[in-house]
């Protein structure tokens, strides 16, 4: 069952900016759905439309099968990209307020539980203005989930978090999923999307360019990437026949092969130049796919077209 | 969804009334509003007690000695309080012979002495002061000082001079002044209210004396109170919305509450704060007035109207303020939009004197029936001693209710669009477009 359906949704700001263009999307119940896309591509606008904060110009959005999200607003938790908290309120007081505003009753127990889970118990009586950015972000997350909504929408939940806190938040998200919550989040961290999401959706210039499981997306591109480590590094990988592009990551390089390129021939050429320490023929990473779609070269191609 | 608005209002209300700023504002607002009166009351006895040396150039030759005598009497009787402390300056007059050949040079020389601080002022009395002829220059009394218009010596000397002139003229006419005292009795025209009949006993009730307190001061205090309620709340609502927008709190809340309910929650809170403030001030005023035994001046019959109109004024202007606050992207925008927000109250402040003086004039009637001004001017008119037609407050109320609903509806449309709109300046064209299209 799909808990969220977008059917040919378009949203335009002014006459010039089409933020979301004829977008259709279905989010299955209990899944973790990752929204990726460059800045300004329409992710936040899409999330705001799902939340009924913005209204689409055309198209229909159904949440829990109903066309109006207003009635079921309390069943959706929403954490915007920009964190907004009353800085002069105390943590526990604020969470109780947000919980009760969301229709929650007797939220005190849930507040205490979440504070403990996210290691914030000692900060419950402190004012928000005394908390660090990471702590504030965790408080914002608790405010989003404290009433145990059926859908949780998180706009950039991991941005600005240190690895420890990111890990804590990741565990919390996965725990929600285990309990049957549908989680949608946007992110610029491709590793997080690859590791956490059941489905990945990419929007670029308002249009859907990717939608599906990671495997399905990668299958579209096939094994066209060589991940290699050599004695001489990137300097030995110049002007290889059949290689479109070399991405140098320092210790490792990635080669994008042109269609019909023979990987064995490429390997033989490289071995004639330097010693090869590692050679993998892999499918492109999500990061790689993202860059191919939204990177400067893609923009040039699109511009030329 | 009203539950969410009330929840939000409750939080806002508590956050406001618990803040130190609110408590301080509650105390300071009336001080600022009535600051000049309080300062006057506190400082009225703090006068310069240094002697005032005044030179008299008396061309008539009959007035100067009288002034000297009057000043000596005053200095002997009024300079000290009961504990012997000097509380007023002594007036020390010196007579100088008038310069006949070059009076201009004499005036200049005396002016120079005033400038140097050697004397406080000089007074020149015209030769024909007792019998002014056709040439007014020869009968004038001129007083020269650095600030002659506000000079208390000048004000004081009018009485002894005119007394002496009257005495001289009566004596010259061969009349015994003691026999014609009534000639100089000044008859006052007393201001009285209207006579009424007691409905139960049928007896005629005497008219009450009409005072300036009833005619002007009570209406003005009522109007100022209304103005204060608006000024203490409405600009705050604008800034509060702007802050919640720029701090991204608004978007978080919009995940839980519809924009209109969000706006209404803040509006309810503003109204509750205004009612709290008015309860404090009204209780304070009634208490003080009661202690001073002036309760007959309190227009208790207008109090319900005052509260209803104040409620509507705060809702009407608060809704407008929040719509405009939602269009702001930074504090500078909010500052520039504060004035348009409170403009109805400001316009009422510009016209309240003619309305209070002539509450039944066409101008007052029309102005008080224009909905944005009605809460202020109708209450002002109702508190004057004039009986305004009873239909007017009712029509005014209906107009304000209808207009307030309209403002809230349009404000809701602007608020919904603008609260998430970043980077778009609050231009009039945008605001009108959002109001019309939503």
B146-204: pLDDT as tens digits: 999 889 999 999 999 998 998 899 989 888 888 887 877 788 887 777 788 888 888 88
Q: What per-residue confidence (pLDDT) applies to A305?
A: 41
The answer to whether the CB of A36 falls within 8 A of the CB of A187 is yes
Nearest CA among B340, B328, B285, B348 for reference residue B419: B328
The answer to whether the CB of B324 falls within 8 A of the CB of B341 is yes
Q: Which residues of A touch B7 (CB under 8 A)?
A: 97, 100-101
Domain boundary among A199, A218, A237: A218
Structure tokens, A212:
């599906």
Q: How far is B149 from chain A (nearest CA, A)?
A: 55
Q: Which of B249, B250, B255 sits opposite A78 (nearest CB)?
A: B255
Domain boundary among A201, A218, A235: A218
Q: What per-residue confidence (pLDDT) applies to B190?
A: 79
Task: For residues A210 and A226, state if they share a domain.
Answer: no
Split into its structural domains, chain B has a count of 2
The answer to whether the CB of A249 falls within 8 A of the CB of A239 is no
What's the CATH code of the domain at A150? 3.40.50.300
Mean pLDDT score of chain A, rounded to an integer? Answer: 88
Task: For residues A154 and A262, state if they share a domain.
Answer: no
Task: For residues A192 and A59, state if they share a domain.
Answer: yes
Q: How far apart are CA B167 and CA B177, in angstroms?
A: 7
Task: For residues B239 and B383, state if they share a domain.
Answer: yes
Q: What is the pLDDT confidence band of residue B370, given thresholds at 50, 70 and 90?
A: very high
Cβ-proximal residues to B314 (8 Å cutoff; 6+ apart), any chain: B229, B230, B233, B234, B270, B271, B274
Q: Which residues of B touch A74 (CB under 8 A)?
A: 256
Radius of gyration of chain A from its Cα atoms, rounded to whole angstroms: 22
Q: What is the pLDDT confidence band of residue A304, given thresholds at 50, 70 and 90?
A: very low
Domain boundary among B178, B204, B223: B178
Q: How far apart are CA B249 and CA B320, in angstroms?
A: 20
Query: What domain range includes position B20?
Result: 2-30+212-437
What's the CATH code of the domain at A268? 3.30.70
Task: For residues A288 and A238, state if they share a domain.
Answer: yes
Q: Which of B8, B250, B259 sits opposite A84 (nearest CB)?
A: B250
Identify whether B296 is part of a domain. yes
Q: What is the pLDDT confidence band of residue A15, given thresholds at 50, 70 and 90?
A: confident
Split into its structural domains, chain A has a count of 2
Task: For residues B138 and B9, state if they share a domain.
Answer: no
Chosen for mutation from B251, B262, B425 (greatest number of chain A CBs closer than 10 Å) is B251
Radius of gyration of chain B from its Cα atoms, rounded to whole angstroms: 31
Mean pLDDT score of chain B, rounded to an integer? Answer: 88
Torsion of CA A179, A184, A190, A192, to 10 degrees: -20
Task: For residues B286 and B225, state if they share a domain.
Answer: yes
Q: Which residues of B touch A79 (CB under 8 A)?
A: 252, 255
pLDDT in tens, B221-231: 888 888 988 88
Kindly determine whether residue A51 and residue B254, on different chains, have CB atoms separated by under 8 Å.
yes
Answer yes or no: is the ipTM higher than 0.90: no
Share of chain B above pLDDT 70, in %: 95
Q: How far apart are CA A212 and CA A207, in angstroms?
A: 15
Highest-scoring range by mean pLDDT, A161-165, A281-285, B63-67, B230-234: B63-67
pLDDT in tens, B54-70: 999 999 999 999 999 99
Query: What domain range includes position A24?
Result: 2-218
Q: What is the mean pLDDT of residues B280-307?
A: 83
Which B positions 231-270 lie with beta carbon below 8 A of chain A? Answer: 244, 247-259
The answer to whether the CB of B156 falls within 8 A of the CB of B87 is no
């Amino acid at each position: 069952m799909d808990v969220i359906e977008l059917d040919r949704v378009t949203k335009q700001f002014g006459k010039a900016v089409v933020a979301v263009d004829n977008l259709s999307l279905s989010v299955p119940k209990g899944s973790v759905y990752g929204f990726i896309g460059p800045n300004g591509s329409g992710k936040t606008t899409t999330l705001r439309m799902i939340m009924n904060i913005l209204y689409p110009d055309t198209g229909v959005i159904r949440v829990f099968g109903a066309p109006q999200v207003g009635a079921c607003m309390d069943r959706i938790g929403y954490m915007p990209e920009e964190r907004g908290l009353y800085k002069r309120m105390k943590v526990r007081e604020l969470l109780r307020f947000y919980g009760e505003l969301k229709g929650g009753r007797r939220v005190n127990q849930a507040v205490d539980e979440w504070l403990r889970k996210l290691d914030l118990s000692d900060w419950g009586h402190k004012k928000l203005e005394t908390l660090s950015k990471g702590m504030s972000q965790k408080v914002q997350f608790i405010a989003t989930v404290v009433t145990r909504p059926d859908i949780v929408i998180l706009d950039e939940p991991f941005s600005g978090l240190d690895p420890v806190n990111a890990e804590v938040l990741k565990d919390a998200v996965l725990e929600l999923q285990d309990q049957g919550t549908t989680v949608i989040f946007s992110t610029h961290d491709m590793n997080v999307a690859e590791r956490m999401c059941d489905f990945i959706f990419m929007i670029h210039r308002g249009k859907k360019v990717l939608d599906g499981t990671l495997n399905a997306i990668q299958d579209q591109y096939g094994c066209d990437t060589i991940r290699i480590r050599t004695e001489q590094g990137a300097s030995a990988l110049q002007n290889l026949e059949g290689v479109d592009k070399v991405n140098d990551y320092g210790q490792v390089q990635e080669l994008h092969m042109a269609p019909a390129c023979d990987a064995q021939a490429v390997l033989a050429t490289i071995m004639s130049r330097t010693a090869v320490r590692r050679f993998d023929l892999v499918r492109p990473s999500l990061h790689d796919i993202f860059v191919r779609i939204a990177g400067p070269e893609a923009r040039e191609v699109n511009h030329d077209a | 969804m009203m539950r969410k608005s009330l929840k939000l209002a409750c939080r806002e209300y508590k956050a406001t009334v618990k803040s130190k700023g609110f408590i301080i504002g509650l105390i300071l607002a009336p001080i600022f509003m009535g600051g000049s009166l309080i300062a006057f009351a506190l400082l009225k006895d703090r006068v310069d007690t240094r002697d005032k040396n005044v030179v008299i150039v008396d061309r008539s030759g009959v007035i100067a000695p009288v002034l000297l005598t009057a000043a000596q009497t005053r200095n002997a009787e009024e300079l000290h309080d009961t504990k012997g402390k000097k509380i007023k300056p002594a007036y020390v007059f010196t007579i100088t012979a008038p310069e006949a050949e070059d009076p201009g040079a004499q005036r200049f020389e005396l002016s120079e002495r005033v400038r140097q601080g050697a004397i406080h002022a000089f007074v020149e009395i015209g030769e024909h002061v007792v019998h002014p002829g056709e040439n007014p220059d020869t009968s004038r009394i001129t007083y020269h000082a650095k600030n002659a218009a506000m000079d208390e010596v000048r004000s004081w000397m009018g009485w002894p001079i005119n007394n002496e002139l009257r005495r001289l003229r009566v004596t010259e006419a061969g009349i015994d002044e003691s026999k014609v005292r009534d000639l100089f009795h000044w008859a006052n025209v007393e201001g009285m209210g209207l006579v009424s009949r007691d409905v139960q006993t049928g007896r005629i009730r005497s008219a009450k004396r009409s005072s300036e307190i009833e005619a002007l001061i009570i209406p003005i205090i009522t109007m100022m109170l209304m103005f204060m309620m608006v000024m203490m709340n409405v600009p705050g609502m604008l800034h509060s919305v702007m802050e919640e927008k720029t701090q991204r709190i608004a978007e978080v809340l919009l995940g839980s509450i519809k924009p209109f309910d969000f706006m209404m929650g803040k509006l309810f809170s503003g109204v509750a704060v205004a009612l709290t403030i008015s309860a404090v001030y009204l209780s304070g005023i009634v208490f003080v007035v009661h202690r001073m035994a002036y309760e007959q001046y309190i227009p208790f019959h207008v109090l319900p109207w005052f509260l209803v109109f104040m409620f509507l004024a705060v809702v009407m202007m608060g809704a407008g303020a929040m719509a405009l606050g939602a269009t702001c992207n930074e504090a500078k925008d909010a500052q520039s939009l504060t004035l348009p927000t409170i403009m109805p109250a400001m316009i009422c402040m510009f016209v309240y004197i003619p309305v209070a003086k002539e509450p039944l004039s066409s101008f007052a009637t029309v102005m008080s029936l224009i909905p944005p001004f009605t809460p202020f001017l109708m209450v002002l008119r109702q508190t004057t001693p004039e009986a305004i037609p009873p239909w007017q407050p009712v029509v005014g109320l209906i107009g304000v209710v209808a207009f307030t609903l309209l403002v809230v509806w349009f404000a809701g449309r602007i608020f919904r669009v603008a609260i998430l709109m970043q980077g778009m300046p609050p231009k009039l064209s945008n605001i009108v477009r959002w109001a019309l299209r939503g």
